[in-house]
């Protein structure tokens, strides 16, 4: 199922659609199909379009000060920020984006909870990797968080499983500070509330910059296509869980 969840968004993503349309154009000699694929490429890679679509994912969340957050039963930091590099004796784990981790640490040091929980992400293609939650736990201990105040969930493959596994660690009805990327917060909050938690969102990892519009925003870019694709992928995820839950 996890493979289907990864493949389906690609099929309906700009890159997937362009790829399919180019195949059709090549075999059936359809110039109109080729022009449509070109139009999709130009629109999806436009920085203004990509930033606008991605901003709708981050809406309505804004950066919050830690002092504005009420104390809760647990701080939940979702996975998605560690990757493995190197081989053999040279294997290391490096950050993709540490914002979630450091937000959890700061919340703990400001006494916003007595319990910090990491989730142990383990995807089929990362077998052999150390589960992310245990790497984060070791880093948290190194930064001064007491070991007995940190828990790690059982292995998980997606956000839905993260919400279920947390129930094995704290009871339904607990108040939690949920830490994840701003674009991912709406779906995460929905899933954790479905499990009966009272969720206090603490969004981080904002991608939309507070800068003035320039001519560069109308030039095609890979970053813009990535944001357009993320918009489609995230909305598929939101719709999927709203249908099945």
Structure confidence by residue, pLDDT tens digits, 137-191: 999 999 999 999 999 999 999 999 999 999 999 999 999 999 999 999 999 999 9
SS3 content of the chain, % helix, strand, coil (to 5): 55, 20, 30
Calpha distance 135→145 (Å, rounded): 14
CB count, 10 Å around CB of 10? 14
DSSP for 156-189, please give it. ESSHHHHHHHHTTTS-TT-EEEEEEEHHHHHHHH
- The model's pLDDT over 191-208, given as tens digits with 9 standing for 90+, comes to 999 999 999 999 999 999
In CATH terms, the superfamily for domain 66-204 is HUPs (3.40.50.620)
Calpha distance 229→87 (Å, rounded): 31
Among 122-126, 128-132, 179-183, 235-239, which stretch is predicted with the lowest mean pLDDT? 122-126
Q: Report the largest interatomic distance among the alpha carbons of the chain, rounded to a whole angstrom.
A: 66
Domain ranges of the chain: 2-60+217-244, 66-204
Task: Count CA atoms closer than 13 A to 152's CA, side-chain side.
Answer: 19
CB of 40 within 8 A of CB of 14?
Answer: yes
Calpha distance 75→80 (Å, rounded): 16
| Residue 124: pLDDT over 90 | no
């Amino acid at each position: 199922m996890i493979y289907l969840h990864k493949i389906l968004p690609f099929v309906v993503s700009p890159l997937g659609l362009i790829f399919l349309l180019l195949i059709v154009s090549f075999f059936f000699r359809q110039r109109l199909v080729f022009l449509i694929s070109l139009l999709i490429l130009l629109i999806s890679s436009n920085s203004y379009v990509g930033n606008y679509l991605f901003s709708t994912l981050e809406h309505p969340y804004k950066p919050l000060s830690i002092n504005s957050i009420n104390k809760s039963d647990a701080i939940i930091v979702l996975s998605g920020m560690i990757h493995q590099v190197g081989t053999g004796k040279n294997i290391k784990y490096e950050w993709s984006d540490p914002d979630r981790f450091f937000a959890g640490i700061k919340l703990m040091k400001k006494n916003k909870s007595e319990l910090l929980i990491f989730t142990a992400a383990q995807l089929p293609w990362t077998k052999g990797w150390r589960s992310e939650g245990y790497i984060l736990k070791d880093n948290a201990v190194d930064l001064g968080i007491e070991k007995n105040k940190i828990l790690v969930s059982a292995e998980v493959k997606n956000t839905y499983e993260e919400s279920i596994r947390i129930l094995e660690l704290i009871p339904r009805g607990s108040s939690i500070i949920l830490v994840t990327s701003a674009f991912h917060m709406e779906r995460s909050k929905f899933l954790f509330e479905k499990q009966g938690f009272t969720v206090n969102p603490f969004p981080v990892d904002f991608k939309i910059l507070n800068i003035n519009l320039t001519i560069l925003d109308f030039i095609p870019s890979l970053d813009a296509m990535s944001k357009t694709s993320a918009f489609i992928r995230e909305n598929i995820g939101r719709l999927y869980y709203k249908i099945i839950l």
